[in-house]
Amino acid sequence: MTSSATEPLSILVVDDDDQMLRTIGDILRYRGYAPLGAPTGREGIEMASRMLLPPAVALVDLRLPDMDGIEVVARLRDVSALTEVLILTGNASLDSAVRALREQSYDYLVKPVAPESLLSSIDRAAERWRRKSAEAAMRESQERLRRMFDHVRDALFISDERGVVLDANPAACELADLPLDALRGAALDVVLGAPVSAPGAAGVRDEYRITTPSGATRTIEVSSSAFAPGMIVHSVHDLSERRHLEEELHQSRKMDAIGRLAGGVAHDINNVLTAITCYSEMLVAGLEGTDERREDVLEIRRAAQRAAALTSQLLAFSRKQILQPRLIDLNDIVGEMERLLARVIGEDLTIDIARDPELWLVRADPGQIEQVIMNLVVNARDAMPRGGRITIATANVSLARPHSHHHGIVEPGEYVTLRVTDAGAGIGEDVMPYLFEPFFTTKGQGKGTGLGLSTVYGIVTQSHGKIEVGSGRGTGASFTIYLPRAAGEGPAPARPASPPPSAIGGSETVLVVEDDEALRNLLVRLLSEHGYRVLAAADAESAMTLARLHLDEVRVIVTDVVMPGPSGRELADGVLALKPDLKVLYMSGYTGDALVHRGVPDPERAVLQKPFTTETLVRTLREVLDAPPAAH
Ligand code: ADP
């Protein structure tokens, strides 16, 4: 709005008298102004509205051919409120309009105008214009400053030299969790709960962790600089979100590394456990009912089963499980578990279930979600040895902004949440970072395995969900599972149960592919004993050769998923291309991503989870063989 000092001020002259226009123009130019002449009112208004900087002064003849001078003045006011108006009139005493103009405090000149009085009137008007526009510019810059102050995302505090808050912007009020009134006059280092750089020090940056009145913790960076005499501006940047992202990345890398290790160990141990289980079953079958050694062998088998339960938890953690996701309603799952949970928690505890009646659906493996709920409830129980109340609540949640919490960030979106809350001892900050690590437990020797929450973590992560933990020492704990809302109509009907197998054995030709030699030998032996003709290979390539040779006879391939060289899936796809009605049964200690992502969509591509028992093996194989052919 300001013009530079060197630029001449523009003066608009509106007069229909050509001679007059020229004379006034010359006088003004001589005085150092930039005159603009318009012979009609309309042209004068147009000229003014096209100017980037409207004229400082407008000199308007009251009598114009096209419109009344008063109207010209009014329209000019609309174009620029700052323009100073001077009226030129024929005869002051006779012109009634002049009185009206005076009331509106327009200055006026009576024709004929002496150059000196014209110039002194113009000079005064120009001076008024300069003052008014300087004030307007100042107001505007103050308003702009205030708008900036009010709208920047960083929190800004202005303090005096002793650190007493003079002013704060809305972001600062939000950060401090206090209204402006409460902030004014307070000591800034008390408000932030962190020392703030020495008064007067300019541009000092420091990072602090603060706790707001509502108990939220935040990581902030404060930088202070002298702003005006006796005033320091402190800009406080909330780093919490970035820190959370960094923490989440760090956490997920750590979990991935541990997961790979755990998954690998579990995979190998599962082969061993399968052999132990099946050989002990064979031994038992060969022993007389009265033989005392029977119990011993059964004990071996039970031990192997306990070990298998551990490896399956490790696999869950390593997110290498085969999930069978379906559209599910968490309310149904919680409802079905109610009685079981009541038994698990015992008599000193009660469970409250709060269901959101309009709950959206999620896509997840119902069995796995049951395990998540069970583990959380068991932990809640353990946290309240003297009894109390556990709450399970389901809800729909729409997040418009990222939601950050202790272990990371939940992206914006629609979620179904399941929250398990207890009133136990709570979880301390020192324990928080390790909560989901396998084998991390604070429970005494023989009491906890430290696998509960790592299983929860694995399942939830593999189901594309997130876990939020809310707790402090002494305030109980709450675990909230966020599962993405699934698009879809209603829960998929459960698959009709397959007809009971006609017989538990069979006589078909089976191609067994397994790289673990002990397990391969075991499979050959078991399947042969159940009547099957068995071909065996140690890897996909030799299996392919065998399949080509015996293409007509082979009815089913029983194959490991993960093997050195091509995977079981690649092998199956290869043979299926030659023989579309071939059946496939995968065996897996864990699975590669390809299988995980596709889930296990149809019964013809069943997966046998290692370790398995003889019974499961032969029954599943029979089911696969008896399933109707796939529609390719
Ligand atoms: P475990 O229960 O075998 O110790 P978890 O992985 O389930 O293994 O839990 C790990 C640790 O997390 C527990 O030992 C305990 O310190 C802490 N924890 C889990 N749930 C809660 C809870 N609801 N309240 C307090 N602490 C808990």
pLDDT tens readout for residues 604-619:
467 777 778 888 889 8
How many A from CA of 325 to the centre of ligand 1? 27
Cβ neighbors of 277 (< 8 A, separation 6 or more) are 301, 304, 305, 308, 611, 612, 613, 614
Q: Over the stretch 544-563, which tens digit does the pLDDT of each residue have?
A: 999 999 999 999 999 988 78
Which pLDDT band, with edges at 50, 70 and 90, does 495 fall under?
very low
The rounded Å distance from CA 472 to ligand 1 centre is 13
HSE (side-chain half, CA atoms, 13 Å) at 385: 2
C-alpha 478/C-alpha 395 separation (Å) is 14
pLDDT of res. 447: 75
Distance in Å from the first CA to the final CA of the chain = 76
> 516 CB less than 6 Å from ligand 1?
no
In the numeric block, the tokens 């202790």 are attached to: 406
> For 478, what's the count of Cα atoms within 13 Å in the CB-facing half-sphere?
14
What value does the mean pLDDT of the chain take?
84
Report d(CA 219, CA 239) in Å as an integer.
5
User: How far, in Å, are 184, 323, 364, 430, 446 from residue 314 at the CA level?
Assistant: 55, 15, 19, 24, 18
> Does 597 have pLDDT greater than 50?
no
Average pLDDT over residues 525-551: 93
Question: CA–CA distance from 536 to each of 423, 478, 580 (Å)?
Answer: 57, 52, 21
For residue 348, the model assigns a pLDDT of 87
Q: Looking at 46-50, 437-441, 479-483, 535-539, which range is the least confident one? A: 437-441
Q: What pLDDT is attached to residue 540?
A: 93
Q: How far is the CA of 453 from the centre of ligand 1 (A)?
A: 7
Q: Is the CB of 473 under 6 A from ligand 1?
A: no
pLDDT, mean of residues 567-592: 83
Task: Read off the pLDDT of each residue in 296-315 and give the average, rounded to a whole number.
Answer: 85
What band does 103 get if pLDDT is binned at 50, 70 and 90?
low
The 10s digit of each residue's pLDDT in 195-223 is: 665 544 455 567 777 777 777 777 888 88
Cα separation, 165 vs 618, in Å, equals 78
Cis peptide before 8 (omega within 30 of 0): no
Sequence-distant (≥ 6) Cβ neighbours of residue 19 within 8 angstroms: none
Which residues touch 350 (CB under 8 Å, ≥6 apart)? 388, 389, 390
Q: Which of 180-194, 488-502, 534-548, 580-594 bottoms out in mean pLDDT, i.e. has the lowest? A: 488-502
Torsion sign (Cα): 503, 505, 506, 509: positive
Of 50, 53, 56, 62, nearest to 14 (Cα)?
Answer: 62
Ligand 1 touching residue 620 (CB < 6 A): no
**Hey, which of 310, 381, 439, 441 would you mutate to test ligand 1's pocket, going by the most ligand atoms within 8 Å of its Cβ?**
441
Average pLDDT over residues 561-579: 87
**According to the model, what pLDDT value does residue 590 have?**
59
Q: Which residues pair with 312 in a beta bridge?
A: none
pLDDT above 60: residue 357? yes
What is the tally of helices (H) and strands (E) in the chain?
Answer: 18, 24
Q: Which run of H or of E encompasses 157?
A: strand 155-159
Measure CA 628 to chain center: 44
In tens, the pLDDT along 241-293 reads 787 778 777 877 877 777 778 877 888 888 889 889 989 988 988 888 889 89
Q: How far is the CA of 456 from the centre of ligand 1 (A)?
A: 11
Best CA proximity match to 53, nearest among 34, 38, 37: 34
Residue-wise DSSP of 86-149 = EEEES-TTT-HHHHHHHHTT-EEEESSPPHHHHHHHHHHHHHHHHHHHHHHHHHHHHHHHHHHH
Strand partners, 222: 206, 236
Residue 552, amino acid: D
How far apart are the CA of 451 and the centre of ligand 1, in A? 9
- 225: number of Cβ within 10 Å: 14
Please tell me the distance from the alpha carbon of residue 133 to that of residue 617, in angstroms, as a whole number: 91
CB-based contact 353:342 (threshold 8 Å): no
Substitution candidate for ligand 1 out of 382, 422, 468 with most atoms within 8 A of CB? 382
- What is the DSSP secondary-structure string of 218-283? EEEEEEEEEEETTEEEEEEEE-HHHHHHHHHHHHHHHHHHHHHHHHHHHHHHHHHHHHHHHHHHHH
Query: With bands split at pLDDT 50, 70 and 90, how would you rate the model's confidence at 373?
Result: very high
Between 48 and 5, residue with greater pLDDT: 48
Q: Which pLDDT band, with edges at 50, 70 and 90, does 417 fall under?
A: very high
| Tally of CB atoms within 10 A around 468 | 19
- Assess whether pLDDT exceeds 80 at residue 408: no
Phi, psi of 187, deg, nearest 5? -80, 130
